Structure 1
Amino acid sequence: MRKHAIQCFGQATVDAAINREANNNPDGSIFAAFARAGQRPVTVSHRVHTNPEARAHIVQWVTESSRPPHLANDRGFRTLMTAGRPSLTVPSGQTVTRDIHTSFIKCKKTIDKLLQDYPGQLNYATDAWTSSNHRAFVAWSVHLHHEGSPLSFLLDIIEVPESHTGKTLANAFDQMLASHGLSNKILSWTGDNASSNDTQTTAMSAMPTNSFQQSNRVRCFAHTINLIVKSILKPFSAPEKKKKKKDGEGDGDGEGNGDGDVDNDDDSIPDLASLSDTSSMRGAFDDEDVDMDLEVEEDYSESDDEGEDVVDGRAALGDDERVDFDAETKLVKKSLEKVRAAV
């Protein structure tokens, strides 16, 4: 029984009842006294909505739940809505769309007044992307400190038919600020580390129609962390497989994939110049211990079988010189082995 009471009313309430202490609940309602922990009251209207109220609730339902407006045309939905309420008129999907637009205009005026009357400057964040159906969009959010609490919400989102160049984004940003009457209320704006945002920063600061200053651009910290993590994990990721070329594609030298792009070959030979520091890279390409003298003797024996005259310059070296020579050419020989294996 005690366990069930704790699950229903919480540990504090049960302890207070056992100790015969008064439960000083700030909410004196009957619901608060008997509700389970975390439960909230559900308000249900006992009267039929009027037609304007029904249209308002449908707009709220469609927008908050991300439902398509044409769902109001569904026969089953209309049957449920009008059951027992023959006088109720269910709006069509087209009417719901118009009501959403009207509600947006009224909400925009309320938000604009809130932001315009804000005593301080405002912070903005922006991002642009292209949808799967190749339509380009850009969105802005606004961030401020309102009545003792941080407040942030989506300010606007528009379609940008042009490419996402820095100048295009700057023009869209400037027009958005002007439409909300916020051109002179810019403390900072935050964006990712794309080069187009660098251009956007310069273009925005050069516009006389807003108060943005180039020094107030903030780079997205989350995007920076993402780039760092990707760079750290890249050496541990599996190499990408090459796409097989079709007949007639590429230039035949293995440098292209048929459309001008260079294949990303993670197994390519490393730059030997960058590996010249034998103290830090010594043994980096060693898969197993190999007797270098044996390799050389095998190469010469193969050449002798072909009847070629080969001069053994290594044999003329002293012992110390031969050791240094083997150490300096070890990376080259391992790279050549890799080329032979690939061929």
Structure 2
Amino acid sequence: MGRGWNSPIYGFFKPIPKIVDVGGRRVHIFECGAKGCKCNKKFINRFLNTADATSTGNMFRHARVCWGEEAVNHTIKNRMTPGEVRQHFVKNASENGDITTFFERKGKGPVTYSHRQHTRTEVRAEFARWMAESYRPFNIVNDERLRSLLKTGQPGYWIPLATTVARDVKTLFACSRNRLSHMLRNYDGQLSISTDCWTSPNGHPFVGILVHFVHNGDPISLVLDVIEVPKVRTF
């Protein structure tokens, strides 16, 4: 029967259901693949001796509550296979996942928000991105007003320690540096290098080294390094 389970909705559940007898009736029991299932029941029962033995209605309703309308609609629109759903949604939502998996380029378009609460790994990824993109200090996670905003209505919302955020930002920086190095070494085109010099308010001179190129039709400018220029003593 599993050969006919081609709908993407199967991807939100574990691939092999349990098969049990209930009152002499054979039942398939599908277990939700979410680490922290948000439904009252983690399992969907499907009796095999009924006219709707292959119905996925209950599975769709469960997935929309647990994973969010956005995620379910995305799998349908893109005609994803159950395996692709498990790879892109279930695997990435694992508590033990690598936070670097959450920084794949999503493309341009309006910002959307999922109804599914972040896992701890996703929280760490979002905090690290916030710190890096908005130039926020790591100890902002200890701010009581911020905690009030995040935890009101969901007091169990997990907030990472400042040391955890700092470690994650360093990890992401190392990954980004390696990725950029590989991209530039294998770039099939011209690279333009420029410098930008300035002096900080406390009198320290710096030189920034930048690279400019075209990637997938878009102009890109990236900072390669920032160097503090040694002061020259004059006598």
Report TM bin, short chain.
0.3 to 0.5
Greater strand percent: which structure?
2
Larger radius of gyration: 1
Q: What TM-score comes out, normalization by structure 1 length?
A: 0.33
Structure 2 length as normaliser, TM-score? 0.47
